[in-house]
Every structure is written in C-alpha cells, then in structure tokens.
Amino acid sequence: MPRICDLVLRSSIFVLAIAAGSFGAAANAQDEFVSAVANGMPLADLRLRFEDVAQSNRPRRAYATTLRARLGYETGEWFGFTALAEGDVITHADGEHFNSTLNGRTVFPVISDPDMVALNRLELDYGASLTDAGSNRKDLHISAGRQRIIFGDARFIGNAGWRQHEQTFDGVTIVDTSLPDTVLAYAWVGGVNRIFGPHSPMGRFTGDTNLFNAVYAGLAPIAKFEAYAYLLDFHQAPLLSTATYGVRDESVLTLMPGMTAQLNGAYARQSNYGTNSLRFDLSYYLAEGGLSYAGMSELLGYEVLQGNGVIGLSTPLASLHGFQGWAESFLTDPPNGIRDLYARTRYSFPAPAISSTIAATLVYHDFSAEHVRAHYGSEWDGSLEAALPHGFSLGTAFADFGGRGAFPDKSVFWLYSGYRY
C-alpha cells in the first residue's frame, strides 16, 4: 500500500504542475502571477532564549543564550496556488558552555540548539472548493514540499516547536474538509528534518512514511473524535519503524454557566513495521479529567507507554517537550515502558496595561515503569508567559526532575522572549 500511495501522490504533483503550466499559457496569467507574488506576506518568527541546565551525571553545568531568526515569504493566491519559502538562522552568544549535540562538549548537559543556517519550509500549496465550486471557501488543500505537519495533540506527529529549529517533513499532504464537521488528512513523507539540523548525522530520516488522520467534531458532547494510522519506515533508524493505530476523544461538558468539565481518552496499538527487525506489540493509553472556571483550569491525567523489557513504545515524530515533563528525561521510552501520573493547574487572566493575556502553569509528574515494578522519579514544572502587544511575547519556565536509579536528577531554567509577524 505505501508504494501505491507514493505513486498516487507523485502523480498528483505531476498533475498539479501540468495544471500550473496550462494556466500560465493564458493571456492574463502572467499579470495575475506577478500580482500574486507581489501581494504576498513576509514571515518573521524571532526567539531569544536563555537556558540553564544542571544534570547530576554531568560534571559541568550548561547554559546557552540562543537566537532564532525564522524569516520567509508567502505569496498570494494564483489560480488556487500559493508558495512559501522560509529559513532558520540560529546562533548563540557567550561561548559554548553546553553540549549542542554537534560540538563534542559532552561534559555539559545537552541543549540541542546548534548553530545553523537551514531551510525550514519550502512548499507549494493548492486549494480548491469541492462542495461549492467557485466559492472562496476551499475544502481541499494539497501541500507539496518541505512543510510543518501537526496531527491532533502532537503526541505522535508534530513539529517539536520548543526547540529553536523545528521538525519539518518533506512530502505531500492532502486535507479534505468537504464533509460536515470532518477533517480527513493523509500525508506521504519521504524525509523528516529533525531539530538537530542538517549537519547532524541524525538530523534527517529518509524512508517511506504514510500518515492517516481523521477527525469528527459533530457528536456532542464529544468535542472531537480522532482516529489515526501512522506507518513509519526509516532507513537511518529501523528500530523506530513502526505501525501505530489509535483513537482519541475529547469531551467538553457544561456544568454551569462559566464552568466546564473536560474528559479526554486515548488508546493506540503499536507494532514493528517496514525494516524493523524486532517483533513486538505495545499499547498506549491515556485518561484525563479536568475542570475550568473563570480562567482557572485543573487537570488530572494518567498516560502509559508500554514496554516489553527490550524496547518501549516509540514516538519519534512527536512534539515531545509537552509530554512526560519539561526536563525531557524521557525523550525515548524506557525498555520497561513508563507510567506518568500528573496534575496540572493553569490560570490565565488579562492585564490590559501590559499584556493581552498572562498565563501561569504548574505541573507535577510521578513516573514509574510499566513492565516491572520500579519508580523512575518525579518532576515539578512551572511557567509564566505573557502575550504582549504587536506580536511580542515574554516568558520564563523551570523544570525540576528528581530521578531514581538510572535516571539522573535534572533541573532546567528558561527565560525567553519572542516576536512573530
């Protein structure tokens, strides 16, 4: 099936290219093309961040001040087509007092934001109206090239946006919203551009990856029901080649005016796929319940990634920073799996004098093994973020992980500011 999907998508790109060429033959197409390019939109996403890391199994404390300038341009529409190009420039100040994953400074903890100049996105997009031809509402979108892909809560497929260089995907994505309350998406991915950058030996995965995702939001009180199949096949990391089939629901219940209850649940089953030489079947499941009232929200959750003693369930394309603690002590699921019992408190409020919104978050995690009886440790995370006028933002955060056994203590502090146009 992956080869068939690959052939179909490559053929669709060819058809789009022929269509674009035929439009170009029209008498007025050239003027419209120039107008679309000239009336585009510049893209700017700047982030300055200080990060300090202390880790008990490293003799030196790491700290880094890094700047990310993400600059690009998106054209206007031309016969349904738009184009986008965007690059990252990442640099640091104050010397290399950290392990960037490329500088060989292993006496320091890792801060995986190496210096680079890299292409972030380069894509051609096409939009069309399937249900109402000629309308401005487009319910079919096709994107080809280097692009950002985020499905659901990014637990399995995301852009890892916390790092200065995000994760992007080389391939083709088709999104259909023509059915009521429904989003159907498919992506063929031939290359994954990871956060470590183009100069890292593990900065790019190539292979034949197929991603299917469907979301239905028309079944109250279920706010969103999601089903997915993610078939990953990597040449550089065959043990991460897996087939994952899963479902997730998010339900919102109104208890009284201004007060809502949130109930989330998920289940997935993962097995070996493609070039993976191991044989396994592992489960993922999640249960969350929370209350929200007047800017305050409370959430209690329990997430399990199984392991069999040899390998744990893997999520190599996830936005990992948001799961299992901000200290990122479990970027790779341990062979004995992991159970994560967590509680989160969040309060947001407007502050018109300085900010449209100020949000404070506090999270507690308790980690243990799933396959055997063992305690991995616990963690406290917290953040304070402000959305400032004119696209600016300011924030600070901390993570404090107290490890057990093979998992070292780790504490991290961040101070960051950003601007987005």
pLDDT score for 116: 97
pLDDT of res. 166 = 98
3-class DSSP state of 101: coil
Query: How would DSSP label each residue in 387-416?
Result: E-GGGEEEEEEEEEEEE-TTS--EEEEEEE
For tokens 């029209």, name the residue: 26
In whole angstroms, what is the distance from residue 418 CA to residue 398 CA? 18
For residue 214, CA distances in Å to 172, 246, 269, 286 come to 17, 11, 17, 19
CA-to-CA dists, residue 323 to 38, 241, 286, 304, 338, angstroms: 41, 21, 12, 11, 12
pLDDT at position 134 = 65
**pLDDT computed for residue 137 by the predictor:** 84
Profile the chain (421 residues) by mean pLDDT over runs of 10 residues: 44 44 56 86 98 97 98 95 98 94 96 97 96 81 98 97 98 96 97 96 96 94 93 96 97 94 97 96 98 96 98 97 97 96 96 86 98 97 95 97 96 98 93
Tokens of 136: 């401005």
> What one-letter code names the amino acid at 205?
F
Distances (CA, A) of 117 to 45, 85, 165, 198, 281: 15, 14, 10, 9, 40
Q: Cα 93 from chain centroid?
A: 27
pTM for the whole structure: 0.91
325 sits in the region (left: phi over 0; alpha: psi -120 to 50; else beta) called: left
Residue 113 structure tokens = 């934001």
pLDDT of res. 133: 66
Is residue 399 packed enough to be buried (19+ CB in 10 Å), middle (13-18) or exposed (0-12)?
A: buried
Q: Using CA atoms in the order 325, 329, 331, 334, what is the torsion angle rounded to 10 degrees?
A: -110
- Per-residue pLDDT reduced to its tens digit, 147-182: 999 999 999 999 999 999 999 999 999 999 999 999
First to last CA, the chain: 41
Domain boundary assignment for the chain: 2-420
Please name the residue that has the structure tokens 């396959």. Answer: 371
Cis omega (within 30 of 0) for bond into 221: yes
Q: What gap in Å lies between CA 85 and CA 9, rounded to an integer?
A: 21
Rounded Cα gap, residues 356 and 202, in angstroms: 40
Tell me the β-bridge partners of 81: 78, 126
Output the CA–CA distances (angstroms, integers) from residue 339 to 73, 323, 342, 397, in the order listed.
43, 12, 10, 24
Instruction: Give CATH superfamily name and number for 2-420.
Output: Porin (2.40.160.10)
> For residue 323, what pLDDT is reported?
97
